[in-house]
Structures are given as C-alpha cells and as structure tokens.
Structure 1
C-alpha cells in the first residue's frame, strides 16, 4: 500500500509536466498542419493569379516593383535629372554649421530705382529688386544655391503676382490676381462661374473623373458643396481615399474622385482601393463629353525624384492611348503647389522639391494636348499663407480655370 501510494503520489506530482509536454507536441503538430495548408492555399492562389494574369507590359500590378525602363524613357529620365540638378557651388565644409546657412531674418531686399526720370516706376514696368543674403551670424553669403520665392501683392486691390528665382534661372509667370480673380497671361481666357447655374450649364452632359490626392479631392468637395442639386452617392468609402461620386440627374453630369496609388501617407486605405492613375485612365472610354483631371505630387515630395518621373511617364502613356482612341477627351493636370513648412514638415519636404516636381511635370507632358492649372503660381501669388490644401478663395479660382477649359469663351 505504501509503495502504491508512493507511485500514485509521484505520478500526480509529474502530471503538470506531462500535460505541458502533451500540449506542446499538439501545438507543434497543429502548426505544421497549418503551414501545409497555407502552402497549399499559396499554390492555389499563385496558379489562379498566373492563369488570370495579363501579358500587357504597361499595366502596373505590384506596389513595390518597378517596370524596366525602355531606352527612350531612360534617356528622358537622364535629361530631366540633368535639367533639375542643383547648380554647382563652391565647396563648403561638411557638415556645414547651421549658423552659416542662409537666414531670412538677416537678409534684405531693396526695390531699385526705376529707369525713368527721377527713378519712378509706372504701371506695366518691370521691377528690379536687389536681394542680399546673410547667414545667422550676419555674414554675407559668398556663394549661391538658395531658392528665392516672392510675391508682390496688394490686399486693397486683391492683386498679387508670383516670382521664383533659382540661383541662375527664373520661372515665367503664368498669371496674376486682380480683384481676387486669377487672370491668365496666356492660353485660355479665364471665365467666372459665380453661380451654381453657370457651373451646371458648363458641366451639362459631362463625365468628369478626378484622380489624385487630397488637393484634387478639394475640387470634388467644392463642387459638392457649391451645387445644391447634385446628389452624392454614399459608397461607404474612407474620407481620404474615396471613391466618391456625385450626379446631377437634371443636367445629366457625373463627377467622380479616386485617390492615386502608392506612395500615399493615408493611414487607413483598403488594398482594393489602391489604384494607379494610369490603370484608371486605361479603363476610360473617353470622348467629347469626358473630362479627365489628375494631380500627382504631394505624396511624392519626400521620395526620390526618379519615382515621380517614372510615375508620370506611366500616366503619360495612358494619356497618349486615351487621346489616340478618343481625341475629343479633355485632359487637365493640376500642378503641385507649395506648402507650409513647419519644423516637422521641413525635415522631409521643401519648396525646392515642389519646384522640381513642377519642372518635371511640364517636361514630361510638353507637346501633348493637355491643359494645366498652375496651382503652384496660383497659391504663390495669393496673399494667403502657403498651405498644401489651399483655402476656398484659391480653390474657387482653380475651378474657374478648369471650367474655362471645359467651356471656353467663344473666340478665345
């Protein structure tokens, strides 16, 4: 009895260890079985994807892969990179002390006397400004390399004009504000669409597709708020991502919005809604009643410019195909604009990057039958502070430019 009791006692004492060992073996076997199941599912999915895959080399499928560049695109990329390269400057110590960099507070600008008698300026004259740049120690800078962005404005007249100076070059000015209205200096004559009825009449019978980031989503939101008769369909979409759609049944026009594919900084994006603009344009029938509007830039600002170039090349191919099959389609591009550079934002963004994007976009779409809304200069020329999401008065002017392309004034 004592022996049996001792055996029972010893068995009961080791029971937890035995149970733990049994559970460990069971879990291990279960994991092996689950891995086999995953492998089987992967093989099934791979077979399905392979069978359903397209052989179109132009179509994007993966978010983390690059299409190989053709020799023509590679040459274009090299020429563009050379054109936007930072100009050579004298060698500086590395790392350069912060107090030896340019300081706006110490720097000055002076409007030089006019060339007329008495140094006067008359309306229509070109102002000459001398800018002297100093570092944080008050020492004059001895080398270039600064991007200077300026605007001349008068709040009383609601007037403003942009100016950009980049070491050795200057951008042309596409327009100016007067009485709060953007007036283009070339191309289309900008009309005013101040009432919902004017917008409705312009968009009557049209299909308008907006693609891009939140800066183009602002246009959708503006039209949705401004037009009382449109009905927005609840597609249960994420606010930042879309897709969104609104319809005016009486005037028979449709407006849609969808965000572009990666890179994007939205936190919550369903994988099924990650769409490349090029792929979306490829799916558009097009025609005289179709308007395609897109913008790409804000989410690319902190990435290498090569990524931006290749994305635009891809979109250009889709635009060329669209205009070949439906020449009457109107394609409008909203250029990137400047943003407020807080300390946090300045770590990964700069006005220089935005200017590079502007040059790249213009170079890639040069010669194509597309229209531009110059968001960079329209935001720069306005007296309101820089903001990646321009305020309503600027958005209204951008919509006027867009609708002026859709419904140009006769004889313009």
Structure 2
C-alpha cells in the first residue's frame, strides 16, 4: 500500500493533489516501525510452529469452542443465519428425487385431503378478523324433538363473528370441539365441518349416559391460518441448522437445511444416496465438504411477521380461546332405546309370528316357528309353515339375513327324521343362495340345558349332541355361518338352560352381527 502512495506523491511533486502528499508523509513515518512489525510476525510464526502439536492434541470441544468464539465475533457484524429478508419461494420447489407418476398421484391425493379454505385476499385489519369473544355456538335439538339417548349424534352449530360483532361470511377458521363429562372422566372429540360461510357444525357421538358438556375452541382465526400457510411455504428456514467442519486445528461453522438458496454461496450436497433425502450446508470458506463432523440446531428466525400479522397471534385473544354458548352448553343423555320396535300381532306366546321394525335404519325383523313337530301351546293350522317352503318364498339378496334354529323339538324322534327335515332345508338354502348369492344364512347349533331324571328322558344333552353332529355335517361346506351355541354354553360360567340367559344370547347375536357387518363391508 505504501508503494502506491509513494507513486502518488511523486506525481504530486509534479503538481497533483496535496492531500495525497500528506499520505506519503504518514507512510514514511510508519515505515520506521516496519522492522518491529516484522519481528512480531516472525515471533508469532515460530510460536505457532513450536506449539502446533499441542494444538492438535486439544480435544474437539476445545477447538470448536475456540473457533466458535471466532465465529461469534464475526457474526456480531453479520446477520445470524439466513437473511431475514429472504423469502424462500423457489429453492425448495423440488426436494430430493423426482417422484414417479404413482407417487405424484398419491401426493396430489394427500395434499387434496388436507386442503384448507383460504380467506378472501385483502389487507389484514384485526377488527375484521375472527373474534372468539363475539362468536357463539348453540346445541341443536334432537331429531324430532326427542330426548337425547346413547347412540344418537349431537350437533352444535357455531357462528363466527369479527371484533366488531359482524358475522363472518367465509370459512377457514381452525376450531376444536369436544363433548365431556367431568363426573365420569369421559370425553370425545367432535368432528368439525366448515360450511365456508362463517358457520361450522360440530358433530359428537353420544357414547355414555348422564350429563355432558360441549366445548368449542378457536385455535386460530382463518386470517392467522393464511399467515401460517405462507410461512410454511415461503420460510422453511425459520428453524435453521448448522454443522461444524474441522481439519486439524482449523474449524468453521456454516448454516445447513433441507434446501438452501444456491445463489448466495457454494453448497455442500449431503443428499442420501439410497433414499434421495436431501440435505445441504453452505460450503466453508477454507475447508472441504468432507470435513463436516456434526449437526446441530442453529436457532429460530425472529421477526417473521409484520406488525399487523402479529396481532393475529395473541394469547388470550385469538389463540386457543373458548367460544361461549348462546344457551346451555350441556345435555342429559338417556340410556339407549331398543334397536327395534315390536308390532303387536296378538300372536300366541312362544309361537308367534312376530314382527319388529326399525324405521331409522330401515330394518324389519320377522320370526316364525318351524313346522311340526312343535311342543308349544296350540298353534293355528294356518301358521304351521315348513322352513323349506318359507325359504323358497324369499327373494333374498344382500339385504336379507336368514337365521335357522331347528333341533330341540326333534330329540324324541329317530335321527332319520331329523336328517330328512334338514335335507329339505339344505336344498332350499342352496336354491336361495343360487338365485340370490348375496343372502346371508346363519345356522344356530344346539345348546346344553338343565337336566333332571325326567327331562333326561326327553331332552338329554346326549340327544342334543347327536342332532348337533348331524346339523354340522349337513351344512358343512356351504356358504353359511354356524353360531356355535353348544360351545358358548359349555364354556360359560352360567348354569345350563334350554333357553340360555340374555348374556349368552347377546354373545350369539354379536357373533352373527360381526359376520353380517363384515360381509356387508366386503360387498
């Protein structure tokens, strides 16, 4: 630098700038101390050479601390992490390998499944954003004005207003809803449906009896969700990472992330070769990319929001604040009603026929006793129907379920009588399944019963076991479900009975319904 000034001074003596002449005089003064600077530099170099092995023996933590101190001094004059003015809109467009057509189709499907309504694009004013304090919800009455019962569905309607109390006319707010009973310690999350007009429905299944309360919470207003969406897409660097690079006594720390803007400085590419998962770090100025020794969190970007945007994220104002009910927020749930409503056909007890209808679920249940021999009380001749003939009169189909129970009244007859009766029934079942393959047929086996000396002569479990063996063999290989009442009564702790207890009957029905419902799903 002094050579340059000397040249300028020489030109000044030929009439150039007098200010530069003063610089020449300063350089001459500094040149007097040149020998001193040279001695200091040589001394430092000798010290470094003599102690280089000591430095290399320092552990990684000590060296890293030393050079991190250097970096801290340097960062005091440079921005921490990526530039806060940078908007990461393009350099994360393609992360890793290009997806295959199937992967791309799946990706589009998944993104569509989490799509979120966007509020109208307009300048943000807090007074026009969603305000939980002005918003309300109301529990809608039960269908038909009836009482709430276990198994019903409860609906609460939510209307969102802004800070001036005006109704909102678009959706996109993030709401949570729950129904809970503090007394029982029970709770269930509600399904929130966005009607995209400022109204939302919260739907709850009623799973227990007693008093329950509805809670609706505004997690974020729609305008805040739009800000979060922008941050996710434009600022993936808002949490940034770093890596330490070291070779001998020299180390450097640089910023790393899934994606980094390549235009700012050279990158080290650490994309995994097998999975294609991307990872990048800024290349150190003095060291190579292969000298990276660790990875750690660098920190969080600050000042990501404008002053107006910051108003959308206020604790106690519009972050997870409860919305109040316009009326009562609690309901009383009664026990579940029967599945079916029985019609009184004035039929003889035990004999039937019986008819029950569930109009809500479009179910009709019919019962009829099989033909003679019947040990019931008096039966009208017109009601004596053989099972095979009844089966032939059914249209059948996926919405038809046939349940057969034929055994107890045949225990006093030779087995051949039971075989002949089952053979006719089996043929009718095959005809039914042939013309209506979707029909579900359920066959109930015999069960154990209470015995005393007299009953043993008529209804011994041995007789039942014999008939049960014929029943299983007769329907083996057919597309029917066997409800094993024999095993259920043999394994249960309750006493044996000709007509099993309601608990065992429920087990039989549950087995039957499990089969029917699973078949329905498959079809």
Same fold (TM over 0.5): no
Q: Which has the higher contact order (CA 8 A, sep 6+)?
A: 1
- TM-score when normalising by structure 1: 0.44
- TM-score when normalising by structure 2: 0.35
Higher strand share: 2
